[in-house]
Structure 1
Amino acid sequence: MNSRTNIAVHDSTVLDQIPWEQMQDGEYAHRYLLALMTDQPDRYVQNVRTQMWALTVDDRVMPLTVNEAEYDNSYVCSPYTHYVSYAKEELDMLGSPLWKGLFSVVLTGLGLWMKASQSNRMAIVNNWLLSTNLYHEMSAEEAERITHFCVERFPRHIIAFRSVCRKLCPDFYAGLKETGYIMVPSRYVYLFHPDWPALGKWRVRNTLRRDRQMLARSGYRILSHDELEEEHAQRIVELYNALYLHKYSKYNPQFTVAFIRLAMQKRTLTLIGLEKNGRLDGILGYFQRNGVMTTPLFGYDTSLPKETGLYRMLSSLLVQEAERQGMMLHQSAGVGAFKADRGAVGEPEYTAVYVNHLPLYRRWMWQAVAVLLDRIGIRMVEKYKL
């Protein structure tokens, strides 16, 4: 029997044919995919236009997004947005008008090259439309099987996996490379395990302890998932937007009230809030897979004084959740010095792209970008803890 017969793609009309109860995390995947595939994805993530399929591989089911161009999409579906539009917004971090001007020209040229090579004609496997995609254990053999299947099904598309981290999935990472994927650095992320502080420096343990004391003395009440109510949904969107869209970038996923209500009702994210005087001032939402948890939803009232410490308190809550469940915490990218002071370890994260079946003019760009980012981009982030 050909092992590829255990792989299939399903559209919204045949979701009931998937044996969800036999799948790993099948109930969770069913709740999430049924909503996003029955409706259009942009009802839940406003700045995403994509075709979404359910890809079944043996006893796993994963979302598969397919795009043609859509250069204004959030980076979760658009490599052009990730490597050009978003990158241009971050040039102010360089602190030098000269370097900003130089890199702006470079990024404009890269953008033209990406469009010419049809970089956004891409099928992304296991793409949950979140900042971080977590993976079940996947072998090198499975990486090859999925790739062959997707190339046959989408012969004109780049095949890709986002959020590939060698430390979290070493076998899968190696399998992708063996299959012929180009590993393109995408972010420098921070990982934390509850056991690490006890093995490390006293300074780390002391910093974590002071964060907890700040939370305990703050006067904020911790709201569990079940204590949050429907009327909080709009406020949660506002808190997320204040941080991720207004402070950072409009190219981050723009979650809607419908997305928050889905999380509340179907627990597609576990939500925790901070409330004082009847007002919700901070929110986080996490999910977990294969012993790892991550927080695609995080926000607080940025109009309050920095001394309030909402970011510190929310981060402390998240660490406590990781401790309670004994899980690795994927803390995403950014604020590197803050996270390193609290025991997190930096690790490159990649977008793995497979282009061997495509014409040369569509392949060269990815090879060049991978070399450039690996030799320059990652080293800069590591040095300055960005």
Structure 2
Amino acid sequence: MSEVRLYSKADFSECRLTNHPLYSYIQVFFSQELSELVENSTNGTCYALEVGQKLCLVVVAQFQEGQTYPTSLRAQYLDYAQEELALTGIKGKRLLSGAFQLLKRIVPKTIDEVVYVGNYLLSTNLFQPFTTEELQKIEALLQRRFPTKTIVYRSQNSCLNQQLMENLSALNYQSFISRQVFIAHQSQVIQQKKTFKKDRKLAKDTTFNIRTNFDVTNYSERIIELYTQLYISKYSQINPRYTPAFIEAMKTVQNTSFTGVFDEENLIGVTMSWELDGTLTVPILGYDLSYPKESGIYRLLTYYTLLRVNDEQLFHMSSGVGPFKLSRGAEYFPEYIYYKRPASAKERRLSFWLLQKVNTILTRMSNKRAY
């Protein structure tokens, strides 16, 4: 029978699962203040959750202005979603935009009073499966420790988390769509795509150098500069603002690796990949936007990651640029958060009703097309 324990920074040394693939990752978040690793996450406190032989990071958050969406449901659903909406060509987006504006005024700030289970301060979180019994024990422990907090499991999709989603539903957790994600899991399909063959030719002919063994510490500020160009300056201020300290800490984390595209000695493109139980994702990606699109830096970074897809490993490509990812053999899946509000929750009925209506509309839209 699985025992459940919650560790703080002060007593994590008592955890004996030192060989667990997430142990070194969790150590990173106990080694420094959260805001020193993720600049726009000053509203969270990290814990480690041990469930039998499983281990994950837990983040306890509260409302604070200007936070990144991994630690703020308001940022994710009332700010980030509206920004994403503006980039799409979907019908009815003006009506939806108005709904988001209304929700910003009436949804209470207490929606950000959350305990996130398995939240790694990344856009995409990877999960080990929890049984119904384990989920019940986790819930009981968290409700005792944080009785006023909503319990949230982010990053759930039917490709990777079908059983976990069913177990959460059986325990009366509610689902709320968060985004579309793209998963490449069939190497034979991927390698037969015309785009893959074109990318392979690009990799053969390019004058850039691809390096998987370079001094990450020496390039940590440049890595953040490239990531910031793409994800902060181009896309959204609500994306996590990682710091060079985060990059330097991650270079020693188990199952984490860096790939760099170099123009002579100038780093012009980079990925940091992270793997858990056969699933690979790329939480850090950036490239020099001053280079022309024809130089193919993003294509090269994607190609070298897709090469790692085989019968034992798949590539969770996260969200965004759907047509590009679909053309390279990925499939798209709606992604959800699962949540359970505390018994003491007293959000206004109108705001909760509106959130559910928006959820229904977004789910229908996601089922119709990839974007």
Interval containing the TM-score (normalised by the shorter chain): over 0.9
Contact 2:24–2:253 (CA<8 Å) still a contact in 1? yes
Gap change, CA 1:366 and 1:32, over 3 Å in 2: farther
Which digits, 9 at most, give the CA deviation of each residue in 1:249-278, with x for residues without a partner? Answer: 111111100011112244563111111221
Gap change, CA 1:255 and 1:245, over 3 Å in 2: same
SS at structure 2 position matched to 1:63: strand
Counterpart among 144, 152, 157 of residue 160 in structure 1: 152
1:329 pairs with 2:315: yes
Amino acid corresponding to residue 60 of structure 2 in structure 1:
V
Counterpart among 277, 280, 283 of residue 270 in structure 2: 283
How far apart, in 1, do the equivalents of 2:80 and 2:28 lie? Answer: 28
Amino acid corresponding to residue 139 of structure 1 in structure 2:
T
Counterpart among 215, 239, 242 of residue 229 in structure 2: 242
SS at structure 2 position matched to 1:20: coil
Name the structure 1 match of 2:48: 54
1:345 pairs with 2:328: no
SS at structure 1 position matched to 2:289: coil
Counterpart among 345, 350, 357 of residue 359 in structure 1: 345
Name the structure 1 match of 2:285: 298
1:107 pairs with 2:100: yes
**Cα offset for 1:364?**
6.9
Contact 2:103–2:354 (CA<8 Å) still a contact in 1? no
How far apart, in 2, do the equivalents of 1:209 and 1:139 lie? Answer: 41
How far apart, in 2, do the equivalents of 1:179 and 1:137 lie? Answer: 15
Name the structure 1 match of 2:169: 177
Which digits, 9 at most, give the CA deviation of each residue in 1:337-371, with x for residues without a partner? Answer: 11111111110111111015233536774565245
Which digits, 9 at most, give the CA deviation of each residue in 1:19-76, with x for residues without a partner? Answer: 023x632xxx332222322321111111112111111111122111111212421000
**Cα offset for 1:17?**
0.6
Normalised by the size of structure 1, how large is the TM-score?
0.89
Name the structure 2 match of 1:69: 63
Name the structure 2 match of 1:187: 179
SS at structure 2 position matched to 1:12: coil
Amino acid corresponding to residue 345 of structure 1 in structure 2:
E
How far apart, in 2, do the equivalents of 1:368 and 1:172 lie? Answer: 27
Contact 1:184–1:369 (CA<8 Å) still a contact in 2? no
Amino acid corresponding to residue 362 of structure 2 in structure 1:
G
**Cα offset for 1:229?**
3.9
How far apart, in 1, do the equivalents of 2:114 and 2:65 lie? Answer: 12
* Structure number having the greater helix percentage: 1
1:372 pairs with 2:364: no
Stretch deviating more after TM superposition (342-351 or 268-277): 268-277
**Cα offset for 1:211?**
1.0
Contact 2:178–2:337 (CA<8 Å) still a contact in 1? yes
**Cα offset for 1:162?**
0.6
Contact 2:25–2:254 (CA<8 Å) still a contact in 1? no
How far apart, in 1, do the equivalents of 2:348 and 2:29 lie? Answer: 30
How far apart, in 2, do the equivalents of 1:285 and 1:61 lie? Answer: 22
**Cα offset for 1:318?**
0.9
**Cα offset for 1:194?**
3.5
1:30 pairs with 2:23: yes
Gap change, CA 1:309 and 1:124, over 3 Å in 2: same
Contact 1:192–1:329 (CA<8 Å) still a contact in 2? yes
Which digits, 9 at most, give the CA deviation of each residue in 1:76-131, with x for residues without a partner? Answer: 010100011112323432459x9665433311211233325x11000101111011
Which digits, 9 at most, give the CA deviation of each residue in 1:282-312, with x for residues without a partner? Answer: 1011111122111111110111111111111
How far apart, in 2, do the equivalents of 1:101 and 1:195 lie? Answer: 40
Gap change, CA 1:135 and 1:94, over 3 Å in 2: closer
Q: Which runs of 5+ in 1 are unaligned?
A: none
SS at structure 1 position matched to 2:49: strand
Counterpart among 291, 299, 305 of residue 318 in structure 1: 305
Name the structure 2 match of 1:8: 5
Normalised by the size of structure 2, how large is the TM-score?
0.92
How far apart, in 1, do the equivalents of 2:349 and 2:316 lie? Answer: 31
1:213 pairs with 2:236: no
Gap change, CA 1:273 and 1:363, over 3 Å in 2: farther
Runs of 4+ in 1 over 6 A off after TM superposition: none
Name the structure 2 match of 1:122: 114
Amino acid corresponding to residue 209 of structure 2 in structure 1:
R
How far apart, in 2, do the equivalents of 1:149 and 1:364 lie? Answer: 31
**Cα offset for 1:231?**
1.9
Contact 2:193–2:327 (CA<8 Å) still a contact in 1? no
Gap change, CA 1:122 and 1:356, over 3 Å in 2: closer
**Cα offset for 1:145?**
2.1
